Amino acid sequence: MADMVLIRSTDLNKQPVPDAVNSVFIQTSLANIDSVLVAGRCKKRHWQLLVGDLQPKLAALQASG
């Protein structure tokens, strides 16, 4: 579970914003998420995952399917 999620509120799908809380829950998509912090460590920043080498994880997912 993330400690903090930074959402870009200036995207077209986030407009208008009459109620900020409802906008987050109803209008936000994965494309709007700029950064994610978990346990104080940045896991996504400026729309890029920072989880290290994804190839072994992708291979394991493909093998399990």
pLDDT digits (tens, 9 = 90+) for 21-54: 988 899 999 999 999 999 999 999 998 888 778 8
Pairwise CA distance, residues 30 & 45, whole Å? 13
Using alpha carbons, list the distances in angstroms from residue 46 to 8, 27, 40, 55: 10, 20, 16, 21
pLDDT of residue 65: 80
* Helix H or strand E encompassing 38: strand 33-38
Q: Which domains does the chain have, with CATH numbers?
A: 4-64 (2.30.40.10)
Q: Is 57's pLDDT higher than 90?
A: no
For residue 62, the SS3 value is: helix
pLDDT of residue 18: 84
Q: Is 63's pLDDT higher than 90?
A: yes
Pairwise CA distance, residues 13 & 36, whole Å? 20
Q: Are 14 and 8 in contact (CB under 8 A)?
A: yes
pLDDT of residue 53: 83
pTM above 0.75, yes or no: no
